[in-house]
Homo-oligomer: A and B are copies of this chain.
């Protein structure tokens, strides 16, 4: 058989394998979405429980924890189903590292809950602990989106990741505001945090709307009834503008928690829909690639049975074939035709992969912003000896103080880091 065709088929096999693995990863992402949702509900309830010094949500706490436990078991089973032995999972190094961090956090969850029940933790500590674990779960989704090799699946994963992150920020907002109402006041730090959470949510949903299919983007725009949207803004304004230490705060706790929960539940419905569509997309893509592989195999069979099978294709690759009119044998003509059809295949494949590469680059560009922020955190952690949280808070505070976007501050930090020197120390050659 012509070797070119053998390698075209090998390329398709790699695509198919990548898509099959991607379908498994998408299933995992769907399960992670469920777990994040359960942990978000547990966090919200734990927070109010702590802020009210155990007076509120006592019954709900145990049932939330039971819900989390059930979904956690499923997600852990999903992690364990991944191929951890062969080292063959595409993008596996980063994905498994993220999973290791998540699993370590899940192992520590029972002890955290004991501390919550014993009222040993402040609402802030509870929020931070759960938020870190959920952040770890989102990082798994991020790696899945960033390592997806198919541009359509990658776009869908970028949309889903940003939606999940927006929903998580909405969950943090729910907890932050609920704790403020429960405590009866909003200090300046909580108000700053709230402004940031509202702003960051908007950015996530903007990116979601850019990469989601139009029907899902429209469903998101219509998901919150206008009365709820108005109530949401009214309660937000109350929380953001109330004077620090003021006792004039009306008790918006119940109203806020119910409204924010309704909003997050609506997000959950849409997230479930996105996850289902993602799975369908990954399956469809795999089938398409398999069908293309069968077309190649059919062409291969035509070669094997034809007269041309035993001769080399003429120089159609170089476009220097004899001008028409000159005498050519039937064998030459057949060879020329087959040689050209391989050339067409090679060119079509190469152009398709190039188009895919362009599309992938666009989808991943939307993830690059997050990476820049992560890199800037790393620089601050290293050069100013900060924890990850401290580094993030420093970036966020600087952004708020200067009225800049977080990513702009992060880029400024990275630009400045060149002057800090000793980059070579981290390179091992």
Binding site for B on A (CB under 8 A): 2-18, 76, 79-80, 82, 84-101, 103-105, 107-112, 115, 120-121, 125, 128-129, 132-133, 149, 151-152, 155, 213, 281, 312-318, 320, 339, 342-343, 346-347, 349-351, 353-355, 357-359, 361, 371, 374-375, 378, 426-429
Chain B residues positioned under 8 Å from A111 (CB to CB): 312, 314-315
Chain B residues positioned under 8 Å from A18 (CB to CB): 87, 93
- Is A4 a contact partner of B84 (Cβ separation < 8 A)? no
- Is A359 a contact partner of B320 (Cβ separation < 8 A)? no
In the A-B complex, the 4 residue pairs with the closest CB atoms: A14-B92, A13-B87, A17-B87, A10-B84
* Copies of this chain held together in the complex: 2
- Is B92 a contact partner of A11 (Cβ separation < 8 A)? yes
A-B contact pairs, 20 of them (CB 8 A): A3-B80, A3-B107, A4-B103, A6-B84, A7-B84, A8-B96, A10-B89, A11-B95, A15-B87, A105-B317, A108-B316, A109-B315, A111-B314, A112-B320, A120-B320, A128-B318, A132-B318, A281-B429, A358-B375, A361-B371
- Is A92 a contact partner of B10 (Cβ separation < 8 A)? yes
The docked-state distance in angstroms from the alpha carbon of A2 to that of B2 is 51
- Is A357 a contact partner of B343 (Cβ separation < 8 A)? no
- Is B107 a contact partner of A4 (Cβ separation < 8 A)? yes
Chain B residues positioned under 8 Å from A375 (CB to CB): 354, 358
Q: Tell whether A10 pairs with B96 under 8 Å between CB atoms, given A76-B3, A152-B428.
A: yes
- Is B13 a contact partner of A104 (Cβ separation < 8 A)? no
Chain B residues positioned under 8 Å from A125 (CB to CB): 320
The docked-state distance in angstroms from the alpha carbon of A90 to that of B155 is 21
* Nearest CB of B to A366, in Å: 15
The docked-state distance in angstroms from the alpha carbon of A163 to that of B428 is 22
The docked-state distance in angstroms from the alpha carbon of A428 to that of B342 is 24
Chain B residues positioned under 8 Å from A349 (CB to CB): 97, 100
- Is A318 a contact partner of B129 (Cβ separation < 8 A)? yes
Q: Tell whether A88 pairs with B88 under 8 Å between CB atoms, given A4-B107, A313-B107, A342-B104.
A: yes
- Is B312 a contact partner of A14 (Cβ separation < 8 A)? no
Q: Tell whether A100 pairs with B152 under 8 Å between CB atoms, given A111-B312, A318-B108.
A: no
Chain B residues positioned under 8 Å from A112 (CB to CB): 315, 318, 320
Chain B residues positioned under 8 Å from A115 (CB to CB): 315, 320
- Is B108 a contact partner of A315 (Cβ separation < 8 A)? yes
Q: Point out the residue from B13, B353, B429 that lies within 8 Å of A84, measured CB to CB.
A: B13
* Nearest CB of B to A374, in Å: 6
**Complex: chain B residue closest to A355, CB-CB:** B426
Chain B residues positioned under 8 Å from A11 (CB to CB): 92-97, 100
The docked-state distance in angstroms from the alpha carbon of A104 to that of B125 is 63
- A90, A100, A281: which has the most chain B beta carbons within 10 Å? A100
- Is B129 a contact partner of A86 (Cβ separation < 8 A)? no
- A18, A87, A109: which has the most chain B beta carbons within 10 Å? A87
- In the complex, besides A358-B375, A359-B427, 15 extra interface pairs with C-beta distance below 8 angstroms are A3-B79, A8-B97, A8-B100, A10-B85, A15-B87, A88-B88, A104-B339, A107-B313, A108-B317, A109-B315, A111-B314, A112-B320, A132-B317, A155-B429, A355-B378
**Complex: chain B residue closest to A375, CB-CB:** B358
The docked-state distance in angstroms from the alpha carbon of A97 to that of B5 is 9
**Complex: chain B residue closest to A288, CB-CB:** B428
**Complex: chain B residue closest to A156, CB-CB:** B429
- Is B87 a contact partner of A14 (Cβ separation < 8 A)? yes
Q: Tell whether A97 pairs with B350 under 8 Å between CB atoms, given A104-B343, A281-B429, A357-B371.
A: yes
Chain B residues positioned under 8 Å from A350 (CB to CB): 97-98, 101
